[in-house]
Amino acid sequence: MTSGLGLDGAYDATLDRIKGQGKGKSALAMAALMWISRSERPMHIGELCDALAVEIGSRGMERENIPSEKTLLASCLGLVAVDESSTVRLVHFTLQEYFNSHSEYFENAQSTMAQVCLTYLNFDSVNELSHSLDSTPVEIQLLQYASSYWGLYARNGLTDGVKSLALRLLGKFGEHISAKLLLMGGFGAWVGCRRYYKTFTGLHCAAYLGIDEIAVALLAEEEGCGADIADINGHTPLAWAAESGHEGMVKLLLGRKDVNPDSRDRNGGTPLRWAALSGHEGIVKLLLDRKEVNPNSRDRRGGTPLFGAAEHGHEGIVKLLLGRKEVNPDSRARYGQTPL
């Protein structure tokens, strides 16, 4: 292992041995290897064991399905280890490289992991949790991970099953604890107010995550729910998509007559301002092509899209904006700052 030479053969042999175990142990080991090798961050052993126990589409966890750490490690035949902080990992970095080059092992990983996360978030016990929580309940260990990453898995592995589970969650998203966890990236020091999360709808979430098909389904299902709905800060789905860099979602929303491409939030920011500030050049071009969009609009600080792009070092967007006659290259913000 020190040299990393000839390990493919060793891994091939070990995986053959894993598959040769009883059906239960083999399935447990391969599922564990999938989660560890495809996780978005290192997972705690409790999070992994919860993930492995989920039956997709169920309404609650069968506690007897949760494997013990001892059973999990034994079934993996030495390919998985748990460190002193209870973080679970592959036994060596070369095993991660091995799985990266052998995609046939986990072909449907993204959709499977999305369905597990969404099933977990749709559990009755999770639906009942309050926004006031400031830590993950001991008995619901996968909550933070599932809230933070289901969208990424869904975007990369959208199937009918994923879509159905996502729509079930997003239909009540403003009331769900996962809205807070998604926006805060977990339990942060600033927990905000419940009123804010209640105004962050399923459509806002789909735009923020960039999952076009789910946004289309939400708009078709929810009569009276316009595509230009604003959250408590005045952020519309278009603003969320523009800030997050989801060009397909921006095109989808700009194609609707009920979407204002130059809407302003509570601080005076527009979708163009957010796209410029965040460095999404393709989205800036899309917005500048719309005659309703003012390329020289000012937020409450007096900052323009050019100011935001210059402040954050986005040279390509600065060039785009300087090419517009309406843009004042020497505009002054509230305290006299200019783009230069």
The CATH number covering residue 277 comes to 1.25.40.20
Q: What is the domain range of residue 309?
A: 201-340
Q: What is the pLDDT of residues 41-51, one digit of tens each?
A: 999 999 999 99
Residues in the chain, overall count: 340
CA distance 335 to 201: 35
Output 301 or 52, whichever has higher pLDDT. Answer: 52
pLDDT number for residue 114: 98
- Would the pLDDT of 68 be above 70? yes
pLDDT number for residue 174: 85
Q: What is the pLDDT of residues 80-116, one digit of tens each?
A: 999 999 999 999 999 999 999 998 999 999 999 999 9
pTM: 0.89
- Would the pLDDT of 255 be above 70? yes
Calculate what percentage of the chain has a pLDDT beyond 90.
76
pLDDT number for residue 1: 56
Q: Which pLDDT band, with edges at 50, 70 and 90, does 287 fall under?
A: very high
3-class state of residue 54 by DSSP: coil
3-class state of residue 43 by DSSP: strand
pLDDT number for residue 7: 83
- Would the pLDDT of 261 be above 80? yes
Residue 218 vs residues 18, 172, 221: alpha-carbon distances, Å: 43, 12, 5
- β-bridge partners, 82: 88
Rg, the chain, Cα only: 23
State the chain's mean pLDDT as an integer.
Answer: 91
- Would the pLDDT of 180 be above 90? no
Torsion angle of the four alpha carbons 129, 132, 137, 140, in this order, in degrees rounded to the nearest 10 = 40
In a domain, 16, yes or no: no
Spatial CB neighbours of 159, under 8 Å, sequence gap ≥ 6: 111, 115
Look up tokens 């894993």; give the residue.
18
The domain total for the chain is 1
- Would the pLDDT of 53 be above 90? yes
pLDDT number for residue 265: 92
In a domain, 228, yes or no: yes
pLDDT number for residue 5: 61
pLDDT number for residue 259: 94
In a domain, 265, yes or no: yes
CA distance 254 to 259: 6
- β-bridge partners, 228: none
In a domain, 277, yes or no: yes
pLDDT number for residue 212: 95
CA distance 18 to 27: 9
pLDDT number for residue 190: 42
Calculate what percentage of the chain has a pLDDT beyond 70.
94
List, in sequence order, every beta strand (DSSP E) within the chain: 43-44, 80-82, 87-90
Q: Which tokens hold the place of 158?
A: 């959208």
CA distance 84 to 15: 26
pLDDT number for residue 9: 86
Q: Which pLDDT band, with edges at 50, 70 and 90, does 243 fall under?
A: very high
Q: What is the pLDDT of residues 69-79, one digit of tens each?
A: 999 999 999 99
pLDDT number for residue 193: 55
In a domain, 52, yes or no: no
In a domain, 301, yes or no: yes
Q: Which pLDDT band, with edges at 50, 70 and 90, does 220 fall under?
A: confident
- Would the pLDDT of 254 be above 90? yes
Q: Which pLDDT band, with edges at 50, 70 and 90, does 191 fall under?
A: very low
125: left (phi over 0), alpha (psi -120 to 50) or beta: alpha
In a domain, 167, yes or no: no
In a domain, 337, yes or no: yes
Residue 39 carries which DSSP code?
A: -
Q: What is the pLDDT of residues 6-33, one digit of tens each?
A: 788 889 999 999 999 988 999 999 999 9
CA distance 239 to 256: 14
Q: What is the pLDDT of residues 125-168, one digit of tens each?
A: 999 998 777 777 878 999 999 999 999 999 999 999 999 999 99
Residue 311 vs residues 39, 71, 121, 227, 303: alpha-carbon distances, Å: 34, 54, 39, 31, 10
